[in-house]
Structure 1
Amino acid sequence: MLFVFILLSALGYFLFIGIASLLGVHYRTNSLEPVIFLLIVLTGIALNINYKIKTLQKETKAEK
């Protein structure tokens, strides 16, 4: 799970920078603001996905 989170964080960071540059926003490479923002957002997304997976596993076990 941690490896997937790190991989998604890296992909999300480059995706965010790409979308921001398309919109005309240019971030400095040494600026930590987008990195911190993305880590917070992706942590929330990863926890939400993890919760949904556990809920689905409980539902499938209950059906059997």
Structure 2
Amino acid sequence: MKGAFAWHVGGNGWSLATLGRSLSDGVVVFWVSDHAGQKLGDAAQNLTEGIAYRARRAVRRR
């Protein structure tokens, strides 16, 4: 992803929530899972950035 991306991940071992915002264009992503695990936590950044990328593409198609 180009540019800076501010984000916060929180969870309790069972659930995981992520809030991310692209500082270059303001796209915001929020997602929650009720089945957190190490693999999901490891993939959180790529998943969040991928959702932001798809959101940008969807807006451009309009």
TM range (shorter): 0.3 to 0.5
Higher helix content, 1 or 2: 1
Q: Which has the higher contact order (CA 8 A, sep 6+)?
A: 1
* Superposition TM-score, scaled by structure 2 size: 0.42
More strand by share: 2
